Amino acid sequence: MRPKDSTVNMHLAPELMDTLWALDAYWRDAVGYELIVTSGRDGEHKLYSLHYVGCACDIRTWTSANSKRQISGTRRETILRMARLIAGDEFDVVNEGHHFHIEWQPSHLPENCNGSV
């Protein structure tokens, strides 16, 4: 797993990092390259986004690490379904069309992930 470049703030909740490492192992086999985080605490997101408190990130869903072509169709659906299984119930994995958004949503958010900025 790696950030797409030095602009990505990877100071994320340990629970999210653990899940990203688990997804990385699957990603390498299923997609063919290491998991690439395109946004962590950085970037512009909705007000009160969990990105800002380190409990959400976005990951690349290209056909290869540098192709700029999105995985599509049945293959994308299968990868999304497996990512959700690996992440587990405390995470939302959302297909945003040009990336997957992953956010830690435990039943009780710790103080550092309460959605406030």
Band of pLDDT at residue 117, cut at 50, 70 and 90:
very low
* Structural Rg of the chain based on CA atoms: 13
Cα 107 to Cα 70: distance, rounded to the nearest angstrom: 32
For residues 48 and 24, the model is more confident at 24
According to the model, what pLDDT value does residue 16 have? 97
Across 31-56, average pLDDT: 91
What are the pLDDT digits (tens) for 4-37?
999 999 999 999 999 999 999 999 999 999 999 9
According to the model, what pLDDT value does residue 111 have? 62
According to the model, what pLDDT value does residue 112 have? 58
pTM over 0.85: yes
* pLDDT value at 110 more than 90: no
Q: What is the 3-state secondary structure (H, E, C) of the chain?
A: CEECCCCCCCCCCHHHHHHHHHHHHHHHHHCCCCCEEEECCCCCCCCCCHHHHCCEEEECCECCCCCCCECCHHHHHHHHHHHHHHHCCCEEEEECCCCEEEEECCCCCCHHHCCCC
What are the pLDDT digits (tens) for 60-99?
999 999 999 999 999 999 999 999 999 999 999 999 999 9
